[in-house]
Structure 1
């Protein structure tokens, strides 16, 4: 078999797809050119003609030429690689042979450097004479020549045409290496193109690395001579995708690396080179900031960028719980990455209050993870469904208790009234369609299960009911140690996933009948230290410290519950709000203007 026969047997698109992601367009394929920084696919492959061509840098050839160029190998080596990739197990063909040839580019570079004063192209792009001399940049009459060095030798060059549609050219058979790949310094910017790297050095005096194509990721990873890498690729979808990919690769190598925030690019600026030309001072300020982030990461100046991003993203924008008494005190609601605590004696309705918040948050579009250590999934669903059923029936104008209350029947597992059962099924069907994928119920005492749930639903609000029964992963000897360990693990979870976390806590027995205060919480010192907001729930009582209970002819019995803020990192404490709790459908209402009722002592 000769070379011509082999060429006909090989699918050039299949071979090139090992190196370039190709998309079919008619009878041809298109992709990003691997031989120059390419963001708008200009690389075309024609299987019918057996050739490839880049309309950006002008390179073209057959399948063997492509492999020679990208692998920087001899013709015979390229033939062997093509046969391996095509799965052809035959003797190597007889035909064209070449010897490995290493061209000396140094003389050419010196000659064209002498002609650099014959063009003002570089000055128009903001590049100074100092950088032109440093890198021996030249001019050959058609374009600017920028040499590429590797391990102390000039191994090739990039030519940037200054006129016409053709933009880049590099010598045939020469594999591009990243520009400035051998640089050794504490902080280095990594860009896509050479002019981007030159732009960075022009304004801050630090040499920058230009990748010259995504195929050079591995070359960079094999030549990591700097301490901190700042990835600053082009401001487009392809550039940002490549930036994230390289960021993860450098992270995997254990290097310090920062991903440049593309939102800082001015409008209509696609890369560092354009930024230099359009606003050099603004460009310098941003680069200086990133150098500070790398060199002095804990300084206020460095932290300011993260603060601005956090503010723009609305990270600390309050999330309303739907309970006005809580939202008003917390200046709007819960905030990401913070603990909140609600403490109460048994029977006060603290779980029902949290379940009501779960419902409200889910209806507002938030994911909620409700971790229960006492109530089963069935009990929690019963409270959710009974409340939804009763509120819906009240809105529709039903005025008899038997038609609006259903929680007791659900707990007994039987609804005798067929019409009521049909209505319940319809209401709950609609309810599930509305919030069924946003409410997540986890019945466990294990923090490992809690972590798994948060990993599955990372952008969520976590409610833990309740704190004293959650078990840490390590060993402990006292209740205080256990609470400390639980809070430390929950703290790591909330910080990692930046989620608001609401903890339900029991209170000390001696605080059952006293005014609300931080010391009411069990292990209050630990809770006070970690929580951003803490509330104590108490009930209105008679002279014998019995709960005062009233009864509504439609909604059933109720009790008055006081909700008092005893810790507020960003606001006032001591404000006591009064709520009305209807336990027969697990619902709280705000008491506005007072409720005229006759309360009787509970038993």
Structure 2
């Protein structure tokens, strides 16, 4: 008997029982970015594939890592599949992020944390002793230790880390923690495909379909970063859904599509009359909700960049200014 075959009577019985008990089958992982969670009707949903894209340097990894940190700090398990950086690099960024959360403008620049993590000098007290050289660093490390056992980093490679490896890691974390993990893939174009195709559109289609199936099978949210094509990477232009590499499959399969753009690059020219406004706009990223099966789409949100601390300010807002190039909302 196929365990995935359900009669409507069975489904109705389950829903009725949940109604009687006051429970729900829907599990949600808040992103920790308040206005974004409002638009997503609570956060990232089990069984959903969420895509985050944007031009280079706009903070895709920074936002993904911060969402992962927020989820872990809130009590959820997280697996961060990183094809770009070593786990030690991500740890250093998390410590810098925590210092920013604790001390805001008084927190040291991320470069000072990076230098401490890369320091080759011996210290008899290990990392704690080394971090004592920098004010705020010890307290920031203590913040990381509060969720260290729930936050997992997978050093992924394009030659070995395929969907099977990702699926097995999800099962391992579920077994070790007893929690369903938020899965973050940084980034999806580097996931190894089993077909061996050299055609990028075919590879992306295969990966996206597999990630969506994985989200449904394991009932976890999969949050994947996506690269842009050359046109989408052009400096000073607005990146849109059609600029994603393998855009047709990406737009069709995902449940939520978020695209980052530098606010200065996409705000209407009429708002750039005064120099003060120009500098203000450079400090913000616009998160465009291009597709959202769980709520509103076509929404523009802004968050202040704090890249010197490896983070964004989470108390964002709706964009008040008019933006160039009105979007096409994906259904």
Give the whole-Å Cα distance in 2 for the aligned partners of 1:425 and 1:464. Answer: 29
Q: Aligned-pair distance for 1:497?
A: 1.4
Structure 1 partner of 2:273? none
Please state whether the residue corresponding to 1:435 is helix, strand or coil.
coil
Task: Classify the secondary structure of the residue corresponding to 2:29.
Answer: coil
Correspondence list, 1:169-248, <5 A: none
Verify: 1:457 aligned to 2:173, yes or no. yes
SS in 1 for 2:224: strand
Tell me, yes or no, if the aligned pair for 2:39 and 2:295 is still in contact at 8 Å.
Answer: yes
**Equivalent residue number for residue 437 of structure 1:** 149
Of 218, 222, 247 in structure 2, the residue corresponding to residue 501 of structure 1 is 222
Larger radius of gyration: 1
Unmatched 5+ stretches in structure 1: 1-255, 259-292, 552-557, 596-603
3-state DSSP of counterpart to 1:571: coil
CA distance in 1, matches of 2:27, 2:40: 11
The structural deviation recorded for 1:366 is 0.3
Structure 2 CA distance for partners of 1:325 and 1:507, relative to 1, 3 Å: farther
1:375 Cα shift?
1.7
Deviations 1:381-440 (A, max 9, x none): 11111010222234xxxx65xxx2141022223599985436423430x22431001110
Between the aligned partners of 1:358 and 1:347, the Cα distance in structure 2 is 19
CA–CA separation in structure 2 for the residues paired with 1:510 and 1:565:
20
1:240-389 correspondence runs (5 A): 256=1, 298-308=6-16, 313-389=23-99
**Range that drifts further, 482-491 or 498-507:** 482-491
Of residues 310, 313, 317 in structure 2, which corresponds to 1:586? 310
Secondary structure of 2:43's match? Answer: coil
Q: Which residue number in structure 2 is paired with residue 410 of structure 1?
A: 113
Spell out, residue by residue over 1:282-320, the C-alpha distance to the aligned partner (whole angstroms, 9 max, x if none).
xxxxxxxxxxx9xxx554333323444677652324321
Aligned to 2:289: 565
The separation in 2 between residues aligned to 1:341 and 1:565, in whole angstroms, is 10
The partner residue of 1:421 within 119, 134, 153 is 134
Q: Which of residues 206, 225, 243 is equivalent to 1:520?
A: 243
Question: Following the alignment from structure 1 to structure 2, what is the Cα–Cα distance between the partners of residues 583 and 457?
Answer: 30
Distance 1:449-1:593 versus aligned 2 partners, 3 A rule = closer
d(CA) in 2 for partners of 1:451, 1:317: 19
1:504 shift after superposition? 0.6
Separation of aligned partners in 2, 1:310 and 1:299: 17
- Provide TM-score, normalisation by structure 2: 0.76
Contact 2:300 2:319 in 1 (8 A): no
Whether contact under 8 Å (1:367, 1:439) holds in the other structure is yes
**Structure 1 position 475 matched with structure 2 position 196:** yes
Hey, what's the Cα distance between the residues in 2 that align with 1:368 and 1:586?
Answer: 18
**Distance in 2 between the 1:377 and 1:420 partners?**
22
Q: 1:324 Cα shift?
A: 2.2
- Distance of 1:332 and 1:373 partners within structure 2: 29
Distance 1:298 1:536, change over 3 A: same
- Give the deviation of 1:349 after TM superposition: 0.3
The range that moved more, 431-440 or 355-364, is: 431-440
TM-score, normalised relative to structure 1? 0.43
Instruction: Give the 3 Å change call, closer, same or farther, for CA 453–309 of structure 1 in structure 2.
Output: farther
- Who is 2:274 aligned against? none
Aligned length: 287
Q: 1:420 to 1:566 in 2, by over 3 A?
A: same
Q: What is the SS of the residue equivalent to 2:283?
A: strand
Q: C-alpha separation between the residues in 2 aligned to 1:494 and 1:318?
A: 13
Give 1:540 deviation, angstroms: 2.3
- Partners of 1:516 and 1:564 within 8 A in 2: no
Which 5+ residue runs of structure 2 have no aligned equivalent?
A: 122-128, 175-179, 270-276, 321-331
